[in-house]
Amino acid sequence: MSLVLDSFLGVLALALALRVLLAREALAAAIGFVGLGLVLALLWVRLDAADVALTEAAIGSGVTGLVLLRTAAAAKPVAPQGVAVRGLAALIAFAVFCGLAALVLTLPEPAPSLADEAAAHLEATGLGNPVTAVLLVYRALDTLLETVVLLLALIGVWSLSADRDWAGAPPPLWRFAPTPPLVFLARILPPLGILMGLYLFWTGADTPGGAFQGGAVLAAAWLLVLLAGLRAPPAAGSRRLRALLLFGPALFLAVGALGVVFAGAFLAYPEGIAKPIILVVEAAITASIAVTLGLLVLDPPQPPGPLPVEGHSSP
Amino acid sequence: MSALLSTPTLFGLTGAALVAIGLYGLIVQGDAVRRILAFNILGGGIFLLFGVIARRGAGAGFGGDPVPQAMVITGIVVAFSATALAVALVRRLQALPPEAEDGDEATAGASTEREAAS
């Protein structure tokens, strides 16, 4: 019975991927992509990876989808490649599929796994969720660099603004007058979103959830408020905003450096008080992730007023 | 036959097909936004393959190997970062005056090549 459900989900994912590929309009393709992300999240649940499912739904489908949706709406249709290129591409894609399918069918038995080692040291971390233990303890350097990658992406986006606008505010997320239902939802949903985001962060220590999932939900609550025009985007030059962006990665880095002194290695935690330290770091990066994700959805800072960006980049 | 009739194998093949669909789209699509979409499908397929490997590595009372699962979470966030940056570049291109657009650049490049050749 479960296999029937899984086959259905797999076929549904492929159908949606083809829909994204073949849709006539870029906007329809982007909407299909959001649907694909949600189906993929269900596949992750079926693979017993609820942490990944939450990330896929919140970031892979939600925030990524939002970024692509608003751009696809403005995209002009461009003719695809000619028949020869398409034929060649189909051949290459089919060869890649065959290669990967052969790998899937010949995966080694028994499968290599680090689950036992992850479980063996779980008690020392004080955490109950092994995925959080991997993210914040065993491979904490990955997660530290990941928060820095988010910041770098934001610097990349902001650097597309002209020098004179660098410290200004990003333009509104939505230039048109919001409809009453949108304003209504933007008033009642954010408190629930904030509660859900904080819960996901807090529960991530022991059950599925964590800083990235919680941060994404917090960002979504903020973006809804921006979408309805209830608040204006903050100025990129604001010291408070920049402090908030840096707070998580900087605290993570500082805790890592203190680990050299108190626990003998970079990003090591002293035994016994590991869990409180991890929770403090997670809280800090959750806040920074939420703000960074939200700002990555917005455009780079632009001069005030309804004018579109000009082609000039220097004053 | 029994290996084929299991959820990890089924989803592994789904992941392989998603990679193929994404790769095909990445090559043939003309529009930059569509290419970014295809790139994300490709990435989703690779993550799914990794998730299948995590599921097969279930042990110690966990439903899957937590190490690949955590790496996929990192991967999804990094893929989003790259997508957001790529989309910002596309939006900047969309905002440019029409004469500086993609197609015209190609003709401009071609004419420069002709001049260089003559």
Half-sphere exposure of A139 (CA within 13 A, CB side): 20
Inter-chain touch A113–B57, beta carbons under 8 Å = yes
Inter-chain touch B82–A101, beta carbons under 8 Å = no
- Residue B40 phi, psi (nearest 5): -70, -30
Any CB–CB contact under 8 A between B86 and chain A?
A: no
Inter-chain touch B15–A104, beta carbons under 8 Å = yes
Inter-chain touch B31–A77, beta carbons under 8 Å = yes
Provide the shortest C-alpha distance from residue A298 to chain B (in Å). Answer: 9
pLDDT for A1 beyond 90: no
> With bands split at pLDDT 50, 70 and 90, how would you rate the model's confidence at A177?
confident
Provide the shortest C-alpha distance from residue A21 to chain B (in Å). Answer: 6
Residues in contact with A220: Cβ distance below 8 Å, sequence separation at least 6, in sequence order? A58, A62, A63, A193
pLDDT value of residue A237: 85
> With bands split at pLDDT 50, 70 and 90, how would you rate the model's confidence at A36?
very high
DSSP H or E stretch at residue B28: helix B7-28
| Residue A263 buriedness (CB in 10 A; 0-12 / 13-18 / 19+) | middle
> With bands split at pLDDT 50, 70 and 90, how would you rate the model's confidence at B4?
low
pLDDT for B114 beyond 60: no
pLDDT for B110 beyond 70: no
Among B74, B80, B92, beta carbon nearest to A63: B80
Inter-chain touch B27–A92, beta carbons under 8 Å = yes
Among A60, A212, A308, beta carbon nearest to B95: A308
Task: Give B28-62 pLDDT, tens digit per residue.
Answer: 988 889 999 999 999 999 999 999 999 988 877 78
pLDDT for A24 beyond 80: yes
pLDDT value of residue A2: 84
pTM, rounded to two decimals: 0.88
- Give me the helices (H) in chain A, please: 2-22, 26-46, 50-55, 64-72, 83-105, 115-120, 122-125, 130-133, 140-158, 180-203, 211-227, 239-262, 274-297
Provide the shortest C-alpha distance from residue B21 to chain A (in Å). Answer: 7
Kindly state the percentage of chain A with pLDDT values over 90. 52
Write out chain B residues lying below 8 Å of A28, CB-based. none
Inter-chain touch A47–B16, beta carbons under 8 Å = no
> What type of residue sits at position B63?
G
Q: How far is CA B33 from the centre of its chain?
A: 12
Provide the shortest C-alpha distance from residue B47 to chain A (in Å). Answer: 10
Long-range contacts of B98-106, Cβ-Cβ distance < 8 Å, separation of 24 or more: B100/A311, B102/A78, B102/B32
pLDDT value of residue B30: 82
Contact call for residues A289 and A212 (beta carbons, < 8 A): yes
Question: Which of B2, B46, B73, B104 would you mutate first to test chain A, the one with the most A CBs within 10 A?
Answer: B73
The DSSP code sequence of A270-283 is: -TTSHHHHHHHHHH
Contact call for residues A200 and A57 (beta carbons, < 8 A): no
| Residue A315 buriedness (CB in 10 A; 0-12 / 13-18 / 19+) | exposed
Q: Is the peptide bond before A110 cis (omega within 30 degrees of 0)?
A: yes
Inter-chain touch A89–B41, beta carbons under 8 Å = no
pLDDT for B99 beyond 80: no
Provide the shortest C-alpha distance from residue B99 to chain A (in Å). Answer: 11
Task: Give A265-283 pLDDT, tens digit per residue.
Answer: 888 888 778 888 889 999 9
Provide the shortest C-alpha distance from residue A314 to chain B (in Å). Answer: 14
Residue A135 CA to residue A30 CA, distance in Å, equals: 30
Name residues 22-51 of chain B within 8 A of A (Cβ). Answer: 22-25, 27-34, 36-38, 40-41, 44, 47-49, 51
Q: ipTM of the assembly? A: 0.90
